[in-house]
Structure formats: C-alpha cells, structure tokens
Amino acid sequence: MSRRVVVTGIGAITPIGLTADGLWAGLRAERSAVATVTRFDPSIWRSRIAAQVDDFVVTDHMDAKRAKRLDRFSQFAVVSAQQALADAAIDLDAEDRERVGAMMGTALGGVGYAETQIHDFLKYGAKGLNPLLALTVFGGAASCNIAIELGVMGPNATNAMSCASGTIAIGEGFRQIRDGYADVMIAGGSEAPLHPLCFGAFAVIRAMSTRNDDPGTASRPFDRDRDGFVMGEGGAVLVLEERERALARGARVYAEVSGFGMTNDAHHMTAPRPDGRQAARAIRLALADAHLAPHEVQYVNAHGSSTPLNDPTETVAIKQVFEEHAPRLAVSSTKGYYGHALGASGAFEAAITALALARDWLPPTINLAEPDAGCDLDYVPRTGRTERVDVALSNSFGFGGINASLVMQRADG
C-alpha cells in the first residue's frame, strides 16, 4: 500500500535564524551569516571564516542536567525535533508511539566533541575523559536521543552519508510512512563541526573558501569567482505525516513529499563524476517515484556548494534531466546565507523548499554576481522572487559520490 506523505512541522537551528519562522525571516533579510570564526583560533588555517549559530542557548530548551548529557550535535538534533513537533501540534500522549519514528543524517556526528576531549585526556589522563564520551561521539546519537527525549519507538536510524545525509534521512522517513511502517516520522540532519581539527580537515584539502577579508561574500554558489565552500553548523527537522490523518486532525500542511532518489557516482571520494550522469539519475529516480515528468518541476533548490567542481557538474545534471525545460526552471542555492553545514544542509534546504512552496517566495542565490561559464541557468540571483510553485526539487551531493534528490509538491496540489 502506497500512502501520501506531508510536511506538518519544521524545526530549525541555523546561522540565519532559529525556528521555522526565524529561518524564513533570515531568508527574507537576504544577508549572509558568514563571518570570521570566533569559536576557536583559526589563524593556522588558510580559511578562517564560517557560519556560526551564535544565538542558541540550549538551556532555553531543556534543563541543565539533560543538556550536559548531550554534546552540541545532539543538542541541535533534539531541540530542532522538539521545535518541529510543537510546530506540527502533535500531542504524543495521544499517539501510538510505536508508529512514530526518527531518521537523522550527519557527516561527522559527535567527532567535534571528541576533539575537545583529546586536550583533557592529554592533560589529565584517563580521569580527564567525560564518561559520556562513547555515547556522544557516534552518529546514531542524533536519532536515538530524539527517540529517548520524545519517547518514540518507531523506525530509527542516523545515516552518515556526508553532505547528502540530511536529504537521505528525510527520503527514508518518507518511505517509512509511504510503505506503512510508520504514521509520523521526525526526520532531518544535525552537524556541529566547528572545532579546529574538523575545520582543518577540510582546510588542508583546499575545499574551503579563503575569502577571509570579505566573509559575507565568500559563499557564492555558481559565481565565476567562487573558491570553495564555507563551513556552517546547525540542525533542521521536518515532521512527516501520513496525509489523510494529518488532514483529519486539521493539521497545517507546508508541502507534500512525493519522491526520493539516491545513487552513487562510484568515481572519487571528493570529486563529483564530471559527466553528472549519476546525479541526473538520482533526480530522475525521484521524479519517477513522484510520478511526475521533468517539465512539471518549476523550482530547484540546488546543492550549490560554491565549489569549483560541484556547481558546474550539478548544472550539467539538471540540463540532462530537464533538457529544453531547463532554462525555464527557477534554480537557487541558499548556501550563500548559511554556508555548508555538511549533513545538516540537506535538511535546511528541504525545510526551505517546503516553506517556499507554502509561502510563494523563492529565495535567491545571494552573492551571485556573474555566473561561471559552465553555470548558465536561472539561478534567482541576489534578490528573491515572489512566485507560486506547485512542484519543487531539492538536491544534495556529498563526498563518496553520493547523490540524493527529493521532490516536494504544493500542499493543495
């Protein structure tokens, strides 16, 4: 039995705003949150800029004892899940908690927190280690802590498929409901990578922008002067729900999730397959899953990482799928706002896509001054656009050659 799946709640902890409304306000402001790193001294690295979440106070959302048991990565996951559930107005006491699950994605999990423990271990020995270290470092802590905090016992997993993991988590959550294994899924991504070694790991492979003197314009997807991605952090969660029960309880519906596709380039750990063939196949699989033709799509929230290799490859993939319809697509990458939060980025962008469908406004690709020669689509440059969209696509691509795409449709479509 195939069931329809809708988005009824959004939680977001991002560099441009907390909560769904905060995220939307940040998008409408059309300003980048990228600045010089203050979380640690970045002076030893070529890149010294990032998009930090500076206004998140965990004890505003849970008691200090519980907060102390969670590292920042898990805090982002749990709090964004709590926000999303409240936004959906779901009373778990009235639910069959075995039919409510959690799917999350992350690239690095609690590795950033483990990095802080190295200092204490070297200084104090075994006595310096937090006994909770083993419970914070593994990626599965995201979905497991959500389950424990909320008491939900349905399908549960956290994938670690790099920068596509948030999108994959939402896609897998969609499948759980569509195929009858759950009625509600809490799905998204969480990432807290702003620590010296986690940050430096990407700096040493020259993947990140070095526009240190002008941080606000450093993340510039599809622009000819882009020079790498900008690291970010945060978490975002969607509440996915079986459509008929959502309508029956009078839920506010942001959008419908109707298709998901995933492939692998089988090419290189860091470079995308140059012909874009498998990225294109992921898009086609998502469209086939949604029973939609390419010409029915109107908006694409692109992965658009602001890296020299990814942006033209994604453009090639879009052209392969949409052919003569490609020039008529509105395309934007929102990473100019908040950088690249690795495994959380796909969840940010799925939330943004759902909001764009619900609120008839397409966010711009800020900092796009002049598209690169290989990037020649309608990227909604610099300023957002008021536009009704019925069908949208959200793409995510990551290290290891992973490709993932979600199709979303207008709630009343």
DSSP 338-380: H-B-GGGHHHHHHHHHHHHHHHTEEPPBTT-SSB-TT--SB--
* DSSP letter assigned to residue 258: E
Q: Cβ neighbours of residue 32 under 8 Å, at least 6 residues apart?
A: 51, 215, 216, 217, 218, 219, 336, 337, 338, 366, 367
By the 8 A CB rule, do 354 and 362 touch?
no
Closest CA to 254 of 84, 18, 2, 1: 84
By the 8 A CB rule, do 411 and 175 touch?
no
The amino acid present at 29, given as its one-letter code, is A
Alpha-carbon radius of gyration of the chain? 20
- Residue 87 — φ and ψ, nearest 5°? -65, -35
Distances (CA, A) of 357 to 12, 129, 242, 322, 378: 17, 47, 19, 20, 18
Distances (CA, A) of 232 to 61, 219, 341, 342: 22, 11, 4, 7
Distances (CA, A) of 359 to 19, 21, 131, 334, 352: 16, 11, 46, 16, 10
Distances (CA, A) of 363 to 75, 118, 215: 28, 41, 20
* DSSP letter assigned to residue 71: -
The tokens describing 1, both together, are: 């039995």
Distances (CA, A) of 368 to 47, 336, 391: 20, 9, 24
Say whether 198 is catalytic.
no
Catalytic position from the list 144, 163, 198, 375: 163
Integer Cα distance of 54 and 43 in angstroms: 20
Residue environment code for 276-296, b if the CB has 16+ CB neighbours within 10 A, otherwise e: bbbbbbbbbbbbebbebebee
Catalytic annotation, residues:
163
